[in-house]
Amino acid sequence: MGGPGFLGFQLATEWLIVAISGADMWIRLDGRLLDDTFSEKHGRPSGWSAEPLQVRRSLFIGRHFVTFEVNRRSLNAVLDNGRWLALAEDPADRPLFEGNGKPRALKAKDDLRKVVFLAPTTEIWV
């Protein structure tokens, strides 16, 4: 077992954190999941995590967000090279949880605006 699987982007002096467990299986870059551990098993395209390290690094290193919008149930961002990140409102856009087969869905009271935040460090205690 690893950590909670949050997603973080280093900005100038802070980190932009998406504090969703396994966030990389919820978020897409240019329509492709950041990670999809079970893509082959289910006949889906692999996530960006399957790419060589140099390719993955080139996706974000040296890039800047030109827009970053977080709504209650979705997230959309555009990088300075035109690439776009999205966490769609529709759970059908995400793989099912492998263990129980349930959708990766936000609960009625969940609000993404409460779990996307700036932090001075990557050390987060949960």
Contact 44, 32 (CB under 8 A): no
Which region holds residue 11: left if phi is over 0, alpha if psi is between -120 and 50, else beta?
beta
Residue 123 pLDDT greater than 90, yes or no? no
Kindly report, residue by residue over 2-60, the tens digit of the pLDDT. Answer: 578 899 999 989 999 999 999 999 999 999 999 999 999 999 999 999 999 999 999 99
